[in-house]
Every structure is written in structure tokens, then in C-alpha cells.
């Protein structure tokens, strides 16, 4: 007599990440978005996928932002928006996430 067991699949982040993958993730930049403005920022303090996700989440909340891609390895955050963003709003979002906006790259 055989029984079927339930298998739970848990997604994890790469081994170098400081988190278990539960809140990691970044948005992907949308190529070819007509009228969109793409700005690349340098952010200090990102070390892993969790950091990328925290920054992406905060910047995504700014009105007009359509995409955010944060890369911890380079410290670069690419933001696609409907119009140019106020740098103070971006700085505040990065600060809220716990990191430092160095400026545009």
C-alpha cells in the first residue's frame, strides 16, 4: 500500500544572500516604453537581494515610477518613470529603506 506525500517547495535566494529569499526581488526595466525616463542612481550600502528588494519597494511607491531594478553587486538602481523624478523624493525613499543615495550614476 503506497501513500502520496505532500511536498513543499521553498524558493531560496543564492547562498551569498543574507536573507532566505522571502522578501528578495527586483523589478525589471521596461524597454521601449514610449515617453519613459530612465535614470540610474548610485546607492551605498546594498549587499544582497534583500537590500535590492527593500530599495525597489520604496522607490516603486513614488508616483510615476513604472520600474525599478536594483543591483547590489554594483550599487546601481535603474528607475524608469513617466517623467523625471524629484531627486529629493528618491533620496527619501532610499533613506526609508535604510541606504544612502550617492547621486545619479
- Give the pLDDT band (50/70/90) at residue 81: very high
Q: What is the pLDDT of residue 15?
A: 36
Segment 65-69 mean pLDDT: 98
Average pLDDT of every residue of the chain: 79
Q: What is the pLDDT of residue 30?
A: 42
- Give the pLDDT band (50/70/90) at residue 58: very high
- Give the pLDDT band (50/70/90) at residue 95: very high
Secondary structure (3-state) at 100: strand
Pick the more confident residue, 11 or 103: 103
Contacts of residue 21, defined as CB under 8 A and 6 or more positions apart, other chains included, come to 10, 11, 12, 13, 49
Q: What is the pLDDT of residues 8-43, one digit of tens each?
A: 433 333 333 344 443 444 444 444 557 899 999 999
Distance of CA 55 to the CA centre of its chain: 5
CATH architecture, domain 37-104: 2-Layer Sandwich (3.30)
Residue of 14, 1, 89, 77 lying closest to 44 (CA atoms): 77
Burial 31-44 (b: 16+ CB within 10 A, else e): eeeeebeeeebebe
Strand order across the 65-71 sheet? 65-71, 76-81, 37-44, 100-104
Amino acid at each position: 500500500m503506497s501513500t502520496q506525500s505532500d511536498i513543499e517547495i521553498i524558493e531560496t535566494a543564492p547562498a551569498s544572500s543574507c536573507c532566505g529569499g522571502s522578501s528578495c526581488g527586483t523589478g525589471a526595466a521596461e524597454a521601449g516604453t514610449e515617453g519613459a525616463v530612465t535614470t540610474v542612481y548610485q546607492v551605498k550600502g546594498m549587499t544582497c537581494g534583500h537590500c535590492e528588494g527593500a530599495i525597489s519597494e520604496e522607490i516603486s511607491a513614488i508616483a510615476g515610477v513604472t520600474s525599478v531594478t536594483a543591483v547590489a553587486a554594483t550599487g546601481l538602481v535603474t528607475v524608469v518613470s513617466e517623467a523625471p523624478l524629484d531627486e529629493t523624493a528618491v533620496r527619501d525613499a532610499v533613506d526609508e529603506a535604510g541606504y544612502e543615495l550617492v547621486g545619479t550614476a
